[in-house]
Structure 1
Amino acid sequence: MHSLYDWWKRTSRRSMVKPDCTTDENPRILEGNDLKALAKYMKSDSCRNVFIMLGAGVSTSAGIPDFRSPGTGLYANLARLNLPFPEAVFEIGFFKRNPIPFYTLAKELYPGHFRPTPTHSFIKLLHSHSMLHTCFTQNIDTLERRAGVPANKIIEAHGSFATQRCIECRTPFDAEKIKKAVLSEKLEVPRCERKQCGGLVKPDIVFFGEALPAQFHASIPHLRDADLLIVMGTSLTVHPFASLVDFVPEDCPRVLINLDSVGHFNRKHDVVILRKCDEVVRELCTKLGWEEELDAAWEETKDSLEVGEQEPEETAEDEVDKIAKDLKQTLNVSEKGDEEASDKDKAGDSAEPR
């Protein structure tokens, strides 16, 4: 938190005192701390710039597992595999030594397998009503894009599968080629095609040990213009992303829609609703008079699935279990191959003249 605060203080052209942008005609005030009051405020002239913060919880209803839920999250299930630590699958040093676990996981999570949720369609509606300023997302699944939210409205704080490049020379890599390699029956690890390079290719997902995109940092000052902040499906444990909730004006209503109470939502105009994101979004849209628009927008997302793909019948927990089994099998094969290679090397060493 302090490093992000210090960065903003150094780079901001304005005072760190958050300006009071309200007027007597357009005060930023909620009449209550519930959806009814929120909907009334959103329909007023006071609510023009809406900012969104998304975590993995908004994608679980699409069948994509979250990472940190105890017992059912991806990391909890990866803990039983032969990895140095569960997060190693997203650690840049480990990736350089062994990219197989990540690409095994990527094959399961690759865009095109999953349909956006009604929550993603709600964000598109905010844009359609000229209310969406910025959608900050921790998710790498690109479901915001597939729901129809314009790319220039999205800040993928932890990167995504949308682009990819060589980790050595930073040369971009063709999207269709990496897709073919990852989704092939026999997993192929893509490598740079630039002459005299051949480095590992990785989607532009921010791994542990890598810096967040410059666009993320450049967008932080815009939070001072927020009239409303909606935080959905996140544990608010990963910084600096989690710190964004503190950078909106003091009088800006903040809404937490989540299964668990997280962060510090204790300001006068904060709203905390501990339920599933899709359920809350639908109820809010009903109060806004947007329910039919939400249904239409979500219906359009059927086209976001790749040809031949169907909406997954498995739950996010089923998907996690499948990923863990695939990773275990792949790691066993990888270890067996390493052992065979080591045996060959030993045999070769003994045959060499002394």
Structure 2
Amino acid sequence: MPTLDEICTSILTQKTTSIVILTGAGISTSAGIPDFRTPVVGLYDKLTPLQLPYPEAIFHISYFRHTPEPFYAIARARHPRNLKPTLSHAFLALLAKKGVLRFVFTQNIDGLEIDAGVPGDKVLNCHGSWKTQRCFKCKTVYADDLMKDAIGRGCVPYCPVEGCGGVVKPDVVFFGESLPAAFGEMESEVVGEADLMIVMGTSLKVAPVSGVPRKVGMGVPRILVNNDVVGDFGARGDDDVCLIGGCDEGVREIVRKLGWGEELEEVWREAVERKERVLEEEGWDDDDGPGLDECIARAAEAMKLRMGVSDGHRRMLEGHLAEKMAGMMER
């Protein structure tokens, strides 16, 4: 069965022309977004000062609908508005440019694949996107400039529709919500067509997206680019190639074998320059904004002022969320 060298040769000789990719948080860490479960530096460990019933509660719809403050407290530091595509995002765009990318399933909500130049019809944000938002109650779309202002001030945005006043929620899929119907449709359509599966920067613990790599046909090679071996990688023997380490490092190894190093750097440079122009046009300026740790510290202090309420609310939710979040290991 194929080695990485043989897989790259197959791409170069156009024997491999339908690459399906699944990405997770690890593809964006070099852009400045921490992943979720890495000890100490991962987001869930950093949330400890907020004393949430569970770290995942900050992204659970049952918690958000009543207590959106923690989510919006960290939104400024985690909002992808001021982030730029990584080398790994540029790799996806380069595969598209070469005509060998069939589709990208991403668990991320940052939209950096599109920013890098991957065509929109070749990407599915399985967990939604930060690029739009609407009222959770009446579903009215909320203006981008109002959202920008709320995030900049670290405030919870509320629906301006008279008589509504519901909490505004970004169009991302929280725990407890269903994935978009397009996920099942695209999974059925494209996974069976894959002649190569690449999985990058994910623990493969969040169903149903975690099941995508298992659905490619037997004999179809799979490449894992990740800090750890995850899912059923290795179970298919020589069909699986595991590049253990950071995503950008793994991409550089693949691209070196493909001989596309200079092209990748050019695609990456152009992507970053495009994003910088957009940020300038939209007026985002975060140079002196608080970082994630500072946002969490501020939120923890604010929640101390309402400790009686938050403690009681937390105790009420513990049993409720324990059942709701069974099996939900990671965002």
- Which range, TM-score by smaller chain? 0.7 to 0.9
More helix by share: 2
Aligned to 2:27: 58
Aligned to 1:198: 165
How many angstroms does 1:338 deviate by?
7.3
How many angstroms does 1:73 deviate by?
1.0
Aligned to 1:280: 250
Please say if residues 49 and 300 of structure 2, whose CA atoms lie closer than 8 Å, have aligned partners that are also in contact. no
SS of alignment partner, residue 257 of structure 2: helix
Which string of whole-angstrom CA distances, capped at 9 and with x for unpartnered residues, describes residues 119-157 of structure 1? 100000011111111111111121112111122211111
% same residue: 41
5+ unaligned residues in a row in structure 1: which ranges?
A: 1-28, 313-318, 341-354
Task: Provide the C-alpha distance between the structure 1 equivalents of 2:198 and 2:56, rounded to a whole number of angstroms.
Answer: 28
Are residues 1:295 and 2:262 paired? no
Task: Provide the C-alpha distance between the structure 2 equivalents of 1:173 and 1:151, rounded to a whole number of angstroms.
Answer: 22
Aligned to 1:102: 71
Task: Provide the C-alpha distance between the structure 2 equivalents of 1:284 and 1:193, rounded to a whole number of angstroms.
Answer: 50
Task: Provide the C-alpha distance between the structure 2 equivalents of 1:330 and 1:80, rounded to a whole number of angstroms.
Answer: 9
Please say if residues 109 and 141 of structure 1, whose CA atoms lie closer than 8 Å, have aligned partners that are also in contact. no
Task: Provide the C-alpha distance between the structure 2 equivalents of 1:325 and 1:162, rounded to a whole number of angstroms.
Answer: 24
TM normalised by structure 1 equals 0.79
Please say if residues 77 and 295 of structure 2, whose CA atoms lie closer than 8 Å, have aligned partners that are also in contact. no
Which string of whole-angstrom CA distances, capped at 9 and with x for unpartnered residues, describes residues 170-227 of structure 1? 222222221222113xx23222233322211111111111111111121111201111
How many angstroms does 1:339 deviate by?
6.7
Task: Provide the C-alpha distance between the structure 2 equivalents of 1:218 and 1:138, rounded to a whole number of angstroms.
Answer: 16
Moved over 6 A (4+): 308-312
Task: Provide the C-alpha distance between the structure 1 equivalents of 2:220 and 2:230, rounded to a whole number of angstroms.
Answer: 18
Task: Provide the C-alpha distance between the structure 1 equivalents of 2:62 and 2:293, rounded to a whole number of angstroms.
Answer: 21
Q: 195, 202, 215: which one pairs with 2:182?
A: 215
SS of alignment partner, residue 97 of structure 1: coil
TM normalised by structure 2 equals 0.84
SS of alignment partner, residue 112 of structure 1: helix
1:160-179 paired onto structure 2 within 5 Å: 160-179=129-148
1:20-39 paired onto structure 2 within 5 Å: 30=2, 32=3, 34=4, 36-39=5-8
Task: Give the alignment's Cα RMSD to 1 decimal.
Answer: 2.2
Are residues 1:255 and 2:199 paired? no
SS of alignment partner, residue 81 of structure 2: coil
Which string of whole-angstrom CA distances, capped at 9 and with x for unpartnered residues, describes residues 94-128 of structure 1? 11112111011111111232221101000000111
Q: 42, 45, 53: which one pairs with 1:84?
A: 53
Task: Provide the C-alpha distance between the structure 2 equivalents of 1:338 and 1:72, rounded to a whole number of angstroms.
Answer: 26
How many angstroms does 1:335 deviate by?
4.0
Are residues 1:243 and 2:208 paired? no
SS of alignment partner, residue 119 of structure 1: helix
Aligned to 1:148: 117
Task: Provide the C-alpha distance between the structure 2 equivalents of 1:161 and 1:263, rounded to a whole number of angstroms.
Answer: 27
5+ unaligned residues in a row in structure 2: which ranges?
A: 310-331
Please say if residues 230 and 256 of structure 1, whose CA atoms lie closer than 8 Å, have aligned partners that are also in contact. yes
Counterpart amino acid of 1:150?
P
SS of alignment partner, residue 250 of structure 1: coil
Please say if residues 214 and 232 of structure 2, whose CA atoms lie closer than 8 Å, have aligned partners that are also in contact. no
Aligned to 1:224: 192
The number of residues matched between the two structures is 299
Which string of whole-angstrom CA distances, capped at 9 and with x for unpartnered residues, describes residues 61-107 of structure 1? 11210001123211122134322221111111211112111011111
How many angstroms does 1:295 deviate by?
0.6
Task: Provide the C-alpha distance between the structure 2 equivalents of 1:181 and 1:326, rounded to a whole number of angstroms.
Answer: 14
